[in-house]
Structure 1
Amino acid sequence: MQKLSLIVPCYNEEESIMLFFDTVTKVIDGMNTPQKTVEPEYIFVNDGSSDNTLTIMKKLQAEHPDTVHYVSFSRNFGKEAGLDAGLNASTGDLIAVMDVDLQDPPELLPEMVELINNEGYDCVGTIQHDRAGQGWFRAWASSTFYKIINKISDVRIEPNARDYRLMTRQMVNAVLSMSEYNRFSKGIFSWVGFKTTYLTYESKPRAAGTTHWSLRELLSYSLTGIMDFSDVPLKIATFVGGISFFLSLIGIVFIIIRKLTVGGSVAGWASLVTIILLVGGIQLFCLGIVGQYLGKIYLETKHRPLYIVKDEK
């Protein structure tokens, strides 16, 4: 018998939980044979929901006390905290991370399990073949993000890879050993290494409810990924500052030579102000980049917990 833990972060997903449970249960039941049995372990993480998400989790756990468990936060801490809490609570030999909205097709689970058991993989991830329904700007922004981070980071992140993946216990233990406060799970999954393959699938609409990721949150999450796995922005700030300093030196030499050869001039105040504003803008830009990194270092040094559990069972 092999135990399969399913980590399911939830935020205001009262409409999706039962649909998810029924659908995944049918898939897992179909995986069982007289020769081999898969024992499921559902770990639902309530990320400070304001609807009836926790109530439904408790009801489901009462009906299936041996297979369903839940962890409830004291407030909304974000999906990264939910993933970490679920991974910490899992006890399975294999651990899957899934979204409750069924955009991650459970039908892939049998193939994912087979690839790990029979092909020697430590992780089977998934890639969304297209980004239908997301709008052209989000699709373009996502594509641009992956191009940038893969150029400036030593860790390659598979474009359009989902959080939906199946991992061995050894890999999950390696992920949990990384205790940083600022987390970017896709980068962490890639950084720890291990033998990984990907399955591709067509995008699906949500089974119920609406997405809770705004464009601002996605952009913020992207910046976290870039800063967590690359110091190139700091190098850019250094380069821009160096170029600005060099051009300023040239300007000073030019002014001195002009003064000695042709004489001074009252004209040029507009251009002078423009140059001052340009140099000041460059300095503020560089300071902003450094400030972002310092802010993340500050949060790391505070050693605050990634989340606070209010209730679990």
Structure 2
Amino acid sequence: MMKLTVIVPCYNEEEALPFFYEEIKKTEAAMPYAEFELIFIDDGSGDRTLEVVKDLAVKDEKVKYISFSRNFGKEAAMYAGLKNASGDIAVIMDADLQDPPSLLPEMYRAITQEGFDSVATRRVTRQGEPPVRSFFARMFYRIINKISKTEIVDGARDYRMMNRKFINALLDIREYSRFSKGLYGWVGFKTKWLEYENKERVAGKTKWSFWKLFLYSIEGIVAFSTGPLAIASVLGVLMLGVGGIAILFIIVRQLLFGGSAFGWPSMVCIILLMGGLQLFCTGILGVYLSKAYLEVKERWNPDGKYQCIAGRTAGHRNPVV
């Protein structure tokens, strides 16, 4: 019997927790071949979330909890859950039941019997979501997959089950600004994807406003692409090209008609040339900065040593086993 740790980040989920606990206990009863451990992470909630979790821990010895001193965000909560998970397998789930517990048996079989290291989920529909939010979500996935070498699946959820090898690889990455959807793809390993239709919250309101999601998407782009740093170079080259063409146009016009090389046209050309040159040089600095940025992250291993995880190279260079 393998131990399964269920990690549940919670932020103001007082209303949803009783429903979640009831459903997860039903799933546990349907999986007698797995030993369950529940870890609730109270992410600085302002309601009675912590009190509800404490009550559950009193009546159920399998329930554990972690309480943050303030709201640090879901990424910090997921990391804390993985750090304290004692199971051979761990799964991250939301407390609002938008992550169906009914998928747990299939996910568990995929890891224990089919040889997968992780089982990820993605939504195939966005029913119940505002159209504007759905549009920008799809655009985000298109953009980040074009400018990043790490694949991030459209509609991917944080609802994911993983074995101990996968967990340890994630914990070895000690970045402060984490974007787990990208880290899952970056560490690699054999992953199975499960698709399901969007589920409505069982209770309470979503804590993810459009602005918070926008800031989170910026975090993801910055964390897994150095493309924005190269934009300055591209703009600089374009401005240099436009400035050069404009100067040639003014010279030809001066030779043919006269009186064209004075006043604002020549000033605009000078501004374009100087601005383009400055942007181009800034872009070159950005390329060097991106190299330093990737080195500082030390994604291969926190102690600076390269390693090979289960036959897969964890770093970009030759690994030391």
TM-score by length of 2: 0.81
One-letter amino acid of the counterpart of residue 2, structure 1: M
1:242 positional shift? 1.4
One-letter amino acid of the counterpart of residue 141, structure 2: Y
The aligned runs of 1:123-202 (5 Å cut-off) are 123-202=118-197
Whether the 8 Å contact between 2:120 and 2:157 is mirrored in structure 1 is yes
Instruction: Work out which of the residue numbers 45, 65, 72 in structure 1 matches 2:67.
Output: 72
- Secondary structure of 1:199 counterpart: strand
Match of 2:313 in 1: none
Alignment CA distance shift 1:251-1:160 (3 Å): same
- The whole-number CA distance in structure 1 between the counterparts of 2:192 and 2:65 is 29
- The whole-number CA distance in structure 1 between the counterparts of 2:131 and 2:270 is 38
Whether the 8 Å contact between 1:123 and 1:194 is mirrored in structure 2 is yes
Whether the 8 Å contact between 1:123 and 1:195 is mirrored in structure 2 is yes
1:232 positional shift? 1.8
- The whole-number CA distance in structure 2 between the counterparts of 1:155 and 1:10 is 28
- The whole-number CA distance in structure 2 between the counterparts of 1:245 and 1:274 is 9
CA distances 1:25-53 after superposition (whole Å, capped 9, x unpaired): 11111111xxx3x1111111111111111
One-letter amino acid of the counterpart of residue 133, structure 1: G
- The whole-number CA distance in structure 2 between the counterparts of 1:191 and 1:279 is 40
Aligned residues: percent identity? 50
Whether the 8 Å contact between 2:98 and 2:199 is mirrored in structure 1 is yes
Match of 2:5 in 1: 5
- Secondary structure of 1:51 counterpart: coil
Match of 1:55 in 2: 51
Match of 1:210 in 2: 205
Match of 1:102 in 2: 97
The aligned runs of 1:262-273 (5 Å cut-off) are 262-264=257-259, 269=264
Match of 1:243 in 2: 238
1:273 positional shift? 6.5
5+ long unaligned stretches in structure 2: 298-321
One-letter amino acid of the counterpart of residue 123, structure 1: S
Alignment CA distance shift 1:234-1:184 (3 Å): same
- Secondary structure of 2:28 counterpart: helix
1:218 positional shift? 0.8
- Secondary structure of 2:174 counterpart: coil
One-letter amino acid of the counterpart of residue 148, structure 2: S
Match of 2:214 in 1: 219
Alignment CA distance shift 1:283-1:71 (3 Å): farther
Match of 2:39 in 1: 43
1:275 positional shift? 9.2
5+ long unaligned stretches in structure 1: 302-313
- The whole-number CA distance in structure 1 between the counterparts of 2:129 and 2:117 is 31
Match of 2:31 in 1: 31
One-letter amino acid of the counterpart of residue 52, structure 2: I
Q: Bigger CA drift: 138-147 or 265-274?
A: 265-274
One-letter amino acid of the counterpart of residue 72, structure 1: S
- Secondary structure of 1:9 counterpart: strand
Paired residues, what number? 293
Alignment CA distance shift 1:282-1:220 (3 Å): farther
Q: Which has the higher contact order (CA 8 A, sep 6+)?
A: 1
- The whole-number CA distance in structure 1 between the counterparts of 2:54 and 2:156 is 32
Whether the 8 Å contact between 2:7 and 2:40 is mirrored in structure 1 is yes
- Secondary structure of 1:96 counterpart: strand
- The whole-number CA distance in structure 2 between the counterparts of 1:132 and 1:6 is 27
- The whole-number CA distance in structure 1 between the counterparts of 2:215 and 2:47 is 25
CA distances 1:215-262 after superposition (whole Å, capped 9, x unpaired): 111111111111211122222321111121232233344445555664
One-letter amino acid of the counterpart of residue 207, structure 1: V
Whether the 8 Å contact between 1:240 and 1:282 is mirrored in structure 2 is no
Alignment CA distance shift 1:237-1:19 (3 Å): same
1:204 positional shift? 1.1
- The whole-number CA distance in structure 1 between the counterparts of 2:108 and 2:8 is 18
Match of 1:91 in 2: 86
- Secondary structure of 2:35 counterpart: strand
- Secondary structure of 2:200 counterpart: coil
Alignment CA distance shift 1:40-1:283 (3 Å): farther
- The whole-number CA distance in structure 2 between the counterparts of 1:277 and 1:87 is 52
Whether the 8 Å contact between 2:250 and 2:261 is mirrored in structure 1 is no
- Secondary structure of 2:240 counterpart: helix
Match of 2:318 in 1: none
